[in-house]
């Protein structure tokens, strides 16, 4: 089973961090070279013996001469557990079938950024590898200051060229998966305590977009009158366009030593999925070096136009080998009508000028909304994170 969640997730640039309001606006890099080294660990564990993912990551940044900065990161993911196959629950049961998954992902990324008067330019290259998925990507982003640095314009583009292992055609073991995306955004300081951000993102994916491990069931009637259920691999279109509109408002409360961020994200794609996500975060400074940040996030989406719990009530005749030019169908719960709630708290402690430590806990609950797909298809998860930053 591939480690990556194949359901599309659009790139979302977070607005100006509220921490800046609490600790002061960050200065431009000084002539003295500075650097940081971050280590992060995350444990994502779904309940009831479902999927667990353990992630470790390193991120190093170093200021170079002439206002240049170099950063490099490494991420190592390990996954194990059980996940729904897409097959319906057996008669008389509400538990959808699960399959065991085991995988490993290693990912690398390097970015080089430079400050040229009012414009900051960052170019990046990334690569990742799993046993059945190889990905290589690039990115180019610019941030331009206007209006005495009260306005920042974001322009960016990114692309990926991936290879997906399938088992449908022995003559073509790996098939291509391509993606291209762009982002346009603006951040405006309304006053020393308030900023607003608005970003628009567009993305296109082409090539093999199905999850080769997900299946769909359809019953067939034999000449004897017996009903025989058969499983077929899902079949998604080979083109997927999507767009995201993201808006946020940040406001600081100096008397309370606190700040708040509210954000809204609207997502729509050519699969027919529309999604709305709202998030609220409060950052509370406690003493000179501690920040406590609870947050709450609500997500809702409708189903893709080709999502079916099974194909029995459709006129679709599935094929043994997926054909993206034919009828599309999928029983992947991630494409169904659903809602999800995430809530948690983050603790950040500045131990010294050279060391900062962070701890984070989140609870994730997903529920189906179509009244057909059993709730056993949808996961609940606990997410624990810990990290440390060393500066010099």
Q: Is residue 359 over pLDDT 80?
A: yes
- In this prediction, residue 389 carries a pLDDT of 98
Q: Is residue 335 over pLDDT 90?
A: yes
Q: Is residue 4 over pLDDT 50?
A: no
For residue 233, CA distances in Å to 133, 313, 378 come to 18, 18, 20
Please tell me what DSSP assigns to residue 304.
P
- The stretch 237-266 carries a mean pLDDT of 98
Three-class SS state of 20: helix
- The stretch 177-202 carries a mean pLDDT of 98
- In this prediction, residue 16 carries a pLDDT of 34
Pick from 30-44, 179-193, 194-208, 218-232: least confident = 30-44
Q: What is the pLDDT of residues 267-281, one digit of tens each?
A: 999 999 999 999 999
- In this prediction, residue 381 carries a pLDDT of 98
| Bridge-based pairing state of the strands 194-207 and 239-253 | antiparallel
Instruction: Tell me which architecture the domain covering 19-28+116-391 has in CATH.
Output: Beta Barrel (2.40)
This prediction has a pTM of 0.89
Tell me what the pLDDT averaged over the chain comes to: 91
Tally DSSP H helices, then E strands, for the chain. 1, 18
- The stretch 311-328 carries a mean pLDDT of 92
Q: What is the pLDDT of residues 254-268, one digit of tens each?
A: 999 999 999 999 999
Question: Could you tell me the residue ranges of all domains in the chain?
Answer: 19-28+116-391
Q: What is the pLDDT of residues 191-223, one digit of tens each?
A: 999 999 999 999 999 999 999 999 999 999 888
- The stretch 33-56 carries a mean pLDDT of 95
- In this prediction, residue 32 carries a pLDDT of 55
Q: Is residue 154 over pLDDT 60?
A: yes
Tokens of 352: 């010294």
Pick from 169-173, 251-255, 279-283, 315-319: least confident = 169-173
- Is residue 198 within 8 Å of 247, Cβ to Cβ? yes
Q: Is residue 181 over pLDDT 80?
A: yes
Tokens of 139: 């990115």
- In this prediction, residue 21 carries a pLDDT of 42
For 377, phi then psi, to 5°, come to -75, -20
Q: How confident is the model at residue 33 (pLDDT cuts 50, 70, 90)?
A: low
- In this prediction, residue 66 carries a pLDDT of 79
- The stretch 9-15 carries a mean pLDDT of 33
- The stretch 338-366 carries a mean pLDDT of 98
- The stretch 284-302 carries a mean pLDDT of 98
Tokens of 6: 């194949």
For residue 37, CA distances in Å to 40, 59, 155, 176, 354 come to 10, 6, 27, 35, 10
Q: How confident is the model at residue 30 (pLDDT cuts 50, 70, 90)?
A: very low
For 208, phi then psi, to 5°, come to -80, 110
Q: Which residue stretches of the chain are H helix?
A: 19-23
Q: Is residue 13 over pLDDT 60?
A: no
């Amino acid at each position: 089973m591939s480690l990556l969640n194949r359901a599309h997730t659009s790139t979302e640039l977070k607005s100006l961090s509220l921490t800046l309001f609490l600790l002061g606006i960050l200065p431009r890099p000084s002539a003295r070279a500075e650097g940081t080294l971050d280590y992060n660990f995350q444990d994502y564990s779904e309940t009831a013996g479902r999927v667990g993912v353990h992630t470790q990551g390193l991120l190093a940044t170093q200021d170079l001469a002439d206002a240049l900065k170099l950063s490099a990161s490494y991420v190592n993911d390990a996954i194990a557990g059980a996940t729904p196959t897409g097959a319906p629950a057996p008669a008389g049961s509400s538990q959808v079938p699960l399959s065991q998954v085991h995988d490993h992902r290693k990912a690398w990324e390097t970015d080089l950024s430079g400050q040229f008067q009012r414009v900051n330019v960052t170019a990046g290259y990334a690569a990742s590898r799993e046993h059945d998925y190889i990905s290589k990507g690039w990115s180019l982003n610019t941030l331009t200051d206007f209006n005495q640095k009260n306005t920042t314009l974001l322009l960016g583009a990114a692309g990926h060229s991936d290879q997906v292992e399938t088992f449908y055609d022995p003559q073509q073991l790996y098939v291509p998966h391509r993606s291209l995306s762009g982002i346009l955004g603006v951040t405006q300081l309304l006053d020393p305590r308030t900023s607003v951000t608005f970003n628009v993102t567009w993305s296109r994916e082409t090539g093999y977009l199905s999850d080769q491990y997900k299946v769909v069931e359809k019953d067939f009637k034999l000449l004897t009158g017996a009903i025989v259920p058969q499983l077929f691999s899902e079949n998604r279109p080979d083109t997927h366009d999507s767009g995201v509109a993201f808006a946020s408002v940040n406001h600081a409360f100096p008397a309370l030593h606190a700040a708040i961020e509210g954000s809204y994200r609207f997502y729509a794609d050519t699969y027919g999925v529309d999604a709305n996500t709202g998030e609220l975060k409060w950052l509370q400074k406690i003493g000179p070096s501690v920040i406590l940040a609870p947050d709450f996030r609500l997500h809702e989406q409708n189903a893709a136009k080709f999502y079916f719990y099974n194909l029995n009530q459709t006129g679709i005749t599935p094929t043994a080998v997926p054909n993206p030019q034919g009828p599309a169908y999928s029983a992947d719960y991630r494409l169904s009508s659903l809602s999800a709630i995430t809530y948690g708290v983050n603790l950040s402690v500045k131990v010294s000028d050279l060391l900062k430590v962070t701890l984070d806990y989140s609870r994730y609950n997903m529920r189906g909304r179509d009244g057909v797909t059993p709730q056993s298809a949808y996961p609940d998860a606990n997410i624990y994170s810990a990290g440390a930053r060393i500066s010099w």
